[in-house]
């Protein structure tokens, strides 16, 4: 018994297929628009030069102070100050 194309098409509504296709197109368009919006917002928020030296009274959090004490204690103290002062 061979299944003919007409028998298969009887169970598939063209209206339903077109509605599903429209839904897929709308979903893809919205996804593309939101992706482009997120890219734009990322460019707006991101600083122009994120690795430049800080200005004013700002200091680097991990700048070494020299040969005073162990490196671990110095790093621990500076991280504590960094988190405590919220900088």
Closest of 44, 24, 86, 32 to residue 61, by C-alpha: 86
Please state which of the ranges 7-16, 23-32, 38-47, 58-67 shows the lowest mean pLDDT: 58-67
Tens digits of residue pLDDT in 37-75: 999 999 888 877 877 777 777 666 655 556 556 777 877
Are the CB atoms for 43 and 64 separated by under 8 Å? no
CA distances from 6 to 11, 17, 76 (A): 9, 16, 76
What confidence score (pLDDT) does residue 84 get?
Answer: 83
Lowest mean pLDDT among 21-35, 46-60, 71-85: 46-60
């Amino acid at each position: 018994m061979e299944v003919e194309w007409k028998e298969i098409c009887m169970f598939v509504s063209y209206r339903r297929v077109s509605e599903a296709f429209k839904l897929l197109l709308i979903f893809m368009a919205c996804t593309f628009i939101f992706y482009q919006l997120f890219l734009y917002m990322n460019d707006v928020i991101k600083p122009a030069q994120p690795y430049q030296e800080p200005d004013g009274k700002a200091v680097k959090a991990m700048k070494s102070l020299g040969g005073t004490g162990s490196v671990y204690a110095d790093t621990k103290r500076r991280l504590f100050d960094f988190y405590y002062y919220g900088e």
